[in-house]
């Protein structure tokens, strides 16, 4: 459902001259998430795995704690110029007894593909309390395992290989076994799709797992990992100061600049073992 890539004509300039060709672009479309018929958020995402995205989003926002908290998920009205369903409106019904989302979860503005925290009703609502604290997780991961993860993630980023325009997030066991990789124009959406996969496969909490992301480690990605009980978050690029602060607060291991055979451990160094 939906287009993952869009083909557009471009004119390329290089030392060899110019030429016209067709380029593949990563698709970006709005997805409106509703809970029990009430609009909750609109995010710009790459179409595909939208039900996973919705489950992961609700988990990371503290609305649900597992698959049993969702009754149904269905696409509803939303038509394009051709009159066909765009599959850009998704409504999830909570199971009986599950409280409706707190008003703090609602976005005042559209969520862009670059930032999922932007538009929070209040900054205080961002610092959510996880039901699956990773602080006591005895997970240990070897450096020589960690250094294999960026290449393993990249190898599964099929759409990135075509477009060069998507973020990737992958879930691995502490021994380096890849479980799932998801791509999206938004790094937070890629992570939500991974978490949604875990929710839908009854794997929450994600004890003894590593979340690997292709870009930087932001505050929100640390929050999402903590809400799923993930003890280790590793990123190819740098973490932000607030991401490090939150990781330390949550008892998580945060790794940045994981490239080649080197990496930086910013918090939770006791989980990282030399080969």
- Residue ranges of alpha helices (H) inside the chain are 50-60, 143-146, 149-155, 158-163, 187-200, 219-227, 241-250
User: 264: left (phi > 0), else alpha (psi -120 to 50), else beta?
Assistant: beta
**For the chain, what's the residue count?**
275
- Which of 131, 130, 132, 134 is closest to 270 using CA atoms? 134
Rounded Cα gap, residues 30 and 2, in angstroms: 11
Q: Is 115 assigned a catalytic role?
A: yes
Task: State how far the Cα of 104 lies from the Cα of 270, in Å rounded to an integer.
Answer: 35
Query: Looking at 76, 115, 118, 139, which residue is catalytic?
Result: 115
* CA–CA–CA angle 73, 55, 250 (5° rounding): 160
Report the alpha-carbon distance of residue 266 to residue 163 in Å, rounded.
32
* Rounded-to-integer distance, Cα 87 and Cα 83, Å: 12
Q: Which residue has the tokens 């839908």?
A: 200
- Angle CA(235)–CA(60)–CA(62) in degrees, nearest 5? 150
CA dist 105 and 126 (Å) reads: 9
Q: How distant, in Å, are the alpha carbons of 6, 65, 265 from that of 228?
A: 33, 8, 21
- Residue 159 has which token pair? 């759409």
Residue 34: exposed, middle, or buried by beta-carbon count in 10 A (0-12, 13-18, 19+)? middle
Which residues are designated catalytic?
Answer: 115
């Amino acid at each position: 459902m939906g287009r993952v890539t869009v083909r557009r004509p471009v004119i390329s300039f290089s030392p060899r001259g110019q030429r016209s060709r067709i380029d593949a672009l990563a698709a970006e479309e709005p997805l409106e998430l509703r809970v029990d018929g009430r609009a909750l958020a609109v995010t710009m995402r790459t179409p595909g795995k939208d039900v996973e995205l919705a489950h992961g989003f609700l988990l990371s926002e503290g609305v649900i704690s597992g698959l049993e908290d969702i009754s149904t998920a269905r696409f509803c009205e939303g038509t394009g110029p051709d009159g066909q369903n765009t599959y850009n409106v998704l409504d999830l019904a909570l199971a009986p007894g599950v409280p409706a989302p707190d008003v703090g979860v609602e976005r005042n503005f559209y969520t862009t593909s670059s930032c999922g925290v932007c538009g929070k009703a209040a900054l205080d609502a961002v610092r959510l309390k996880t039901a699956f604290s990773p602080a006591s997780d005895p997970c240990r991961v070897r450096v020589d395992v960690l250094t294999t993860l960026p290449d393993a993630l990249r190898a599964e980023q099929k759409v990135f290989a075509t477009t060069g325009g998507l973020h990737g997030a992958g879930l691995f066991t502490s021994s380096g076994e890849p479980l799932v990789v998801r791509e999206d124009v938004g790094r937070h959406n890629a992570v939500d799709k991974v978490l949604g996969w875990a929710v839908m496969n009854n794997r929450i909490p994600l004890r003894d797992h590593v979340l690997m992301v292709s870009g930087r480690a932001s505050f929100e990605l640390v929050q999402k990992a903590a809400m799923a009980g993930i003890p280790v978050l590793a990123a190819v690029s740098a973490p932000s100061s607030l991401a490090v602060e939150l990781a330390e607060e949550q008892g998580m291991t945060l790794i940045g600049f994981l490239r080649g055979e080197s990496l930086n451990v910013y918090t939770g160094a006791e989980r990282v073992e030399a080969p």
